[in-house]
């Protein structure tokens, strides 16, 4: 029982400290840039067709899934090309980037450069070669608009207490981001390299007070992750429709009510900006909970499957040398979501060389993190095509680096 509890504590600690702090910051960062540039950020991407694969790879290079998710939304609106989408997905390695950054920042830079270059090359090959143009044209055939579902307001009102709107829209996001700020010092400490060879935090560098903070944080993180995951499911399956409807209703009233009609232009624009900034803040909270769910599941499964059988896994990866691990890295990269990729990254750092760096190179090119989920739900043809297409450069790069990395 004690071992089970320790596994859960370690999994929640990795989920928040190593990953979710950076994910939430990156989600907010991109949207804020677009707001303060008055939509020029996204507009510039849309109207520079020849530079789109480069820009897509650049967005994908930011750690986390926020860049590719933005490119996916632009692709679904037909504002960027398939080559741009492909470049962004190749350049990213999702939330696993934070694991590499926290454990070996120099290798992280190498992964980033290789994925970025391969993403740009693949993007331009798709957009500016005859076979790539035919592929893009084929992907657009038969695409349908996503269905619009109605909402039974009366029914949702009956199951949704009015005070939930206040909790959901104001209290919970504030609580969530305050929690992330609380654990932020430990995140910075880990990234700056203050851990030993076993990954244990060296607390004596900042004194006994910091050691006590680390001890308290471990249990607070565990309790908060469980709490937010429970809240996520309650919100998703009971209150989401009514809550989202009321938000749209309030925004419409603010825009078209008597006060909105008589207010001066500057005041009205100020209100709109304030609403946009709040929407970014709230949407980042909801998206972070969704990503946190998948990250937590992936890390927990990895811990259960790997820790008790560490020697057996290492022996398996060593079979056939680096070539086998490259194939395994590519296959794992095909699995949607960040969870399996984070598990692979953790195995890499704990396997004492059993997994070659060439395999990690291949995996970083072939995996797309949580950005696959919005693409999978909106455009299945593109999703499956992307998965098969990425495996080609992933295999080429993985085997090409075998002489250097083994």
Cβ–Cβ contacts within 10 Å for residue 342, how many?
A: 28
3-class state of residue 195 by DSSP: strand
User: Can you give the pLDDT at residue 254?
Assistant: 40
User: Can you give the pLDDT at residue 317?
Assistant: 63
What sign does the dihedral 166-172-174-175 (CA atoms) show? positive
pLDDT in tens, 252-262: 444 333 333 33
User: Can you give the pLDDT at residue 324?
Assistant: 80
User: Can you give the pLDDT at residue 39?
Assistant: 74
Check if the beta carbon of residue 331 is closer than 8 Å to that of residue 388.
no
Domain residue ranges in the chain: 2-405
Ranges of residues in the chain whose predicted pLDDT is under 50? 146-151, 153, 156, 247-271
Distance CA 347, CA 342 (A): 9
Cβ–Cβ contacts within 10 Å for residue 311, how many?
A: 9
User: Can you give the pLDDT at residue 168?
Assistant: 81
| pTM value > 0.75 | no
User: Can you give the pLDDT at residue 17?
Assistant: 79
User: Can you give the pLDDT at residue 166?
Assistant: 78
């Amino acid at each position: 029982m004690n071992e089970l509890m320790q596994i859960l504590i370690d999994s929640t600690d990795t989920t928040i400290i190593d990953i979710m702090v950076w994910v939430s910051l990156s989600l907010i960062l991109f949207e804020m840039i677009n707001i303060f540039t008055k939509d020029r950020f996204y507009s510039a991407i849309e109207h520079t067709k020849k530079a789109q694969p480069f820009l897509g790879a650049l967005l994908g290079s930011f750690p986390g899934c926020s860049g590719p998710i933005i490119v996916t939304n632009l692709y679904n609106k037909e504002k960027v090309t398939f080559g741009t989408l492909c470049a962004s997905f190749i350049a990213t390695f999702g939330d696993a980037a934070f694991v590499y950054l926290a454990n070996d920042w120099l290798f992280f830079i190498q992964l980033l450069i290789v994925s970025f270059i391969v993403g740009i090359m693949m993007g331009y090959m798709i957009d500016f070669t005859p076979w790539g143009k035919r592929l893009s044209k084929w992907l657009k055939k038969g695409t349908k608009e996503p269905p619009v579902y109605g909402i039974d307001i009366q029914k949702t009102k009956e199951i949704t207490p009015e005070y939930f709107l206040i909790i959901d829209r104001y209290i919970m996001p504030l609580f969530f981001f305050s929690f992330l700020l609380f654990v932020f010092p430990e995140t910075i400490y880990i990234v700056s390299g203050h851990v030993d060879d076993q990954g244990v935090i060296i607390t004596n560098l900042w004194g006994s007070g910091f050691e006590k903070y680390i001890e308290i944080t471990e249990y607070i993180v565990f309790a908060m992750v469980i709490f937010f995951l429970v809240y996520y499911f309650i919100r998703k399956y009971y209150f989401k429709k009514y809550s989202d409807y009321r938000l749209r209703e309030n925004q419409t009233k603010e825009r078209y009510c008597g006060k909105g009609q008589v207010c001066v232009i500057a005041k009205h624009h100020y209100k709109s900006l304030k609403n946009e900034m709040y929407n970014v803040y709230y949407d980042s909270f909801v998206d972070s909970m969704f990503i946190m769910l998948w990250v937590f599941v992936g890390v927990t499964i990895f811990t259960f499957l790997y820790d008790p059988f560490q020697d057996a896994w290492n022996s398996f990866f060593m079979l056939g040398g680096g070539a086998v691990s490259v194939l395994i890295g590519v296959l794992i990269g095909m699995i949607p979501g960040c969870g399996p990729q984070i598990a692979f990254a953790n195995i890499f750092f704990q396997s004492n060389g059993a997994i070659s760096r060439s395999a990690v190179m291949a995996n970083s090119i072939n995996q797309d993190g949580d950005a696959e989920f919005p693409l999978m739900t909106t455009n299945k043809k593109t999703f499956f095509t992307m998965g098969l297409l990425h495996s080609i450069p992933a295999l080429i790069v993985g085997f090409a680096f075998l002489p250097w990395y083994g």
